Amino acid sequence: MKSKVFDNAAAALDGVLFDGMTIAAGGFGLCGIPELSIAAIREAGTKGLTVYSNNAGVDDFGLGLLLQTRQIKKMASSYVGENAEFMRQYLSGELELEFNPQGTLAERMRAGGAGIAGFYTRTGVGTVIAEGKPVQEFDGDEYILERGIVADLAIVKAWKADTTGNAIFRKTARNFNHPAATCGKVCVMEVEEIVEPGELDPDHIHLPGIYVHRLIQGEHQKRIEQRTVREA
């Protein structure tokens, strides 16, 4: 079997990137974001991107780096409050924005990865979220149709994986990385440590390697968006 392990993010993304593609990006805030892949996409100059991600990073880190270079055409996100450049581009009409309730976005990724074309949810009924979407009544309540997401590329970050791609996430990093990984036609995963098959407890595997196509190991920053501490 061909090795899934690549030397770096640029090598892992070689032959995968193209202008106008869709990308599902894992991470929650700055926790568990695929920072190495983001940096490699910036370096490659791929443009016209549509990115599905819970948020858009901050001005100088995460997906904010791709906003700086105007490589993102559209964001589909739940929360954008930490990125001034994001807000500036959106308010000036330079950036398209599709707001998704957080649970809906996660389920859209999960559905796409599971081969489910769409699902009905009550979340967003009667709001701008529902505009233009089919409405169906179930048991006396209205539900709106949300489509599953299938992205050209998924970029995700895990804590540890074996060489076949079986992966373990840590804490909050598990939230969006798992569904994002499953919904990409190609999944590039970066980790802090790669081990040999059999070294990970099968009961502790969060993402089976069948979803992972390319794998890299690297150093990652440990940033905090809002550092809040109590007085001594």
Within-domain flag for 47:
yes
Within-domain flag for 229:
no
Query: 142-146, 168-172, 208-212, 226-230 — which is least confidently predicted?
Result: 226-230
pTM (two decimals)? 0.92
Per-residue CA distances from 111 to 52, 70, 105, 125, 143 (Å): 14, 29, 10, 20, 17
Say yes or no to pLDDT of 227 above 80. no
Within-domain flag for 225:
no
Residue 110 belongs to domain with CATH number: 3.40.1080.10
CB 72 within 8 A of CB 38: no
pLDDT reported for residue 82: 74
CB 207 within 8 A of CB 180: no
Contacts of 219 (CB under 8 A, 6+ apart): 192
Residue 2: band (very low, low, confident or very high) from pLDDT cuts 50, 70, 90? confident
Say yes or no to pLDDT of 1 above 70. no
Handedness of CA 35, 41, 42, 44 (dihedral sign): positive
Say yes or no to pLDDT of 100 above 90. yes
pLDDT reported for residue 27: 92
Counted domains in the chain: 1
pLDDT reported for residue 79: 84
Average pLDDT, stretch 81-107? 90
Cα–Cα dist 58/157, whole Å: 17
pLDDT reported for residue 87: 87
Where in the sequence is the domain holding 51, given as residue range(s)? 9-217
From the list 91, 50, 93, 95, the residue with the least C-alpha distance to 68 is 95
Residue 78 phi/psi, 5-degree rounding, is: -100, -35
Within-domain flag for 222:
no
Report helix, strand or coil for 175: helix
Model confidence over 46-87: pLDDT tens digits?
999 999 999 888 878 889 999 999 999 999 999 877 788 888
pLDDT reported for residue 80: 77
Residue 183: band (very low, low, confident or very high) from pLDDT cuts 50, 70, 90? very high
Within-domain flag for 125:
yes
Within-domain flag for 164:
yes
Say yes or no to pLDDT of 225 above 70. no
CA torsion 53-56-58-59 (nearest 10°) is 140
Contacts of 149 (CB under 8 A, 6+ apart): 24, 52, 108, 109, 111, 112, 183
Within-domain flag for 168:
yes
Within-domain flag for 227:
no
